[in-house]
Structure formats: C-alpha cells, structure tokens
Amino acid sequence: MSTREYAASVVLLALSSSAVFGAGPNLGKPVSPAEIAAWDISILPDGTGLPPGGGTPVQGERIYAQKCASCHGENAKGGTNAALIGGRPLTDGIDTPKTIANFWPYATTVFDYVRRAMPWQQPRTLSDNEVYALTAYILSINKLIGENDSMNAESLPKVKMPNRDGFIIRFPDKI
C-alpha cells in the first residue's frame, strides 16, 4: 500500500467512524437539570450550598440516640465505628485517632459528610434540620459550640475548628 493510499484509508476510516460512533450506544437516558440538582449537594467551607433550616444540640442529642449511637457509641465515644468526641492533638503521632475535634478543618465539612453518608445503613435519609441538629450536637459535645447554640446556614460557617489551619489548602482562592 502506498503512502497516498494509506493516508486516504486513514481519512476514510476517521470520517466513517465518527458517523458510526456519533450515534452512540444508546445506553441510559438524558438527565434533566432537576435530577442533577437533587445530587448537587456540595457544601463549601465558607458555607456556600448550605440549605435552609437549623438545629440545636438538644434536638441533635435525641436524633443521635435514635440513629447514630448504635454505631458511634453512647455519648459518641465510639462503638463499632469511630468515636466522634475527644482525641489527642494530631502532633502526638501518626497513630492518634482522628476525631471531629482534632482533625476536621471546617464545621461545614461535618455537615456535608453527615448529610451525604449518614446514617451508614440509610445514607441521605436525614432531613436538613436533622443534619443541622446532629452537627450542633457533635460540635457541642466536643466543646466547640455552646450547648444552647443553634446551627444554621449563617452560624455554622462561623464555627472555628481547632485544626482549621492544619491543612495545606490546594485552592485557597476557592475558600
């Protein structure tokens, strides 16, 4: 095959394959903006994306007892899953257990994680008010907020976590 014939074959193959593959395999269905919005629940460190609602540590304590204690233990001290309270400073060594108080850099990240992943056996079943209340309870038992403080989209981003400055921010302009 000459170089000219080879080049013509390559061009013909490229043109015909784009027509064939342009139709696609017809798998799935188009996703609507409303369907995407239901899964677009990211919360940024500055609180962007937090939903309306709110909760208190007292409300969160009741929810915790019903939906969280079986895994995280009484008073969040640990059970089959990690403790959510306490923790020595991370400077004590690599084996130091990471908890809300000594590791998490932003209170909004706690909200985001609880909202997405908890309870473990039924993720994304908590209402926004339940997530605010649980977050308030967890922050309160770690002495990061007062036991009468209410958490909502305005107050949650203002909570200063002890390890906020313990991370190197990859995109500081996004915070």
- What does 75-102 look like in DSSP terms, one character per residue? GGS-SSS---S----GGG-TTSPP-TTT
Q: Scanning the structure block, which residue is given the tokens 């677009």? A: 40
Model-level pTM? 0.78
Strands (E), the chain: 54-55, 151-152
pLDDT tens by residue, 84-103? 998 888 877 778 888 999 89
pLDDT tens by residue, 44-77? 999 999 999 999 999 999 999 999 999 999 999 9
| Whole-number pLDDT of residue 151 | 98
10 pLDDT band, cuts 50/70/90, is low
Give dist(CA 62, CA 158) in Å, integer. Answer: 24
Residue 28 phi, psi dihedral angles, 5° rounding: 75, -165
Given a cut of 60, is residue 4 above it in pLDDT?
yes
| Whole-number pLDDT of residue 68 | 97
| Whole-number pLDDT of residue 14 | 63
| Whole-number pLDDT of residue 9 | 67
Q: Scanning the structure block, which residue is given the tokens 């540590």? A: 57
The whole-chain average pLDDT of the chain stands at 88
Q: Nearest-CA neighbor of 82 among 101, 105, 66, 99?
A: 99
